Amino acid sequence: MVEVFKTNVDNMEQSELLAQELRYRFPGGNISFDLEDCDRVLRISAGDVCCRSVVGILNRYGYHAEVME
């Protein structure tokens, strides 16, 4: 399963920290940010992705995320 999120993450250091946190939550998942995209896309490929958890993790760090349809 692949989930794609629009975010407001805008710096590489923060994206790496968030990716590390997300990898802890979704072990074995492939997690990447595309900060060059206008939507600053976060892609998560994992067996079972809970979108609510992803949004919650980013919110805890002061960022916004929403599922892209």
Query: How far, in Å, CA of 34 to CA of 12, rounded?
Result: 10
| Residue 61 belongs to domain with CATH number | 3.30.70.100
Which residues constitute the domain of residue 60? 2-67
Structure confidence at residue 48 (pLDDT): 87
Structure confidence at residue 47 (pLDDT): 87
The crossing angle, in degrees rounded to 10, of helices 12-25 and 51-60 is: 140
pTM of the model: 0.94
Total domains present in the chain: 1
Structure confidence at residue 8 (pLDDT): 98
Q: What is the pLDDT along the chain (69 residues), one digit of tens a residue?
A: 899 999 999 999 999 999 999 999 999 999 999 999 999 999 999 988 999 999 999 999 999 999 998
Structure confidence at residue 65 (pLDDT): 98
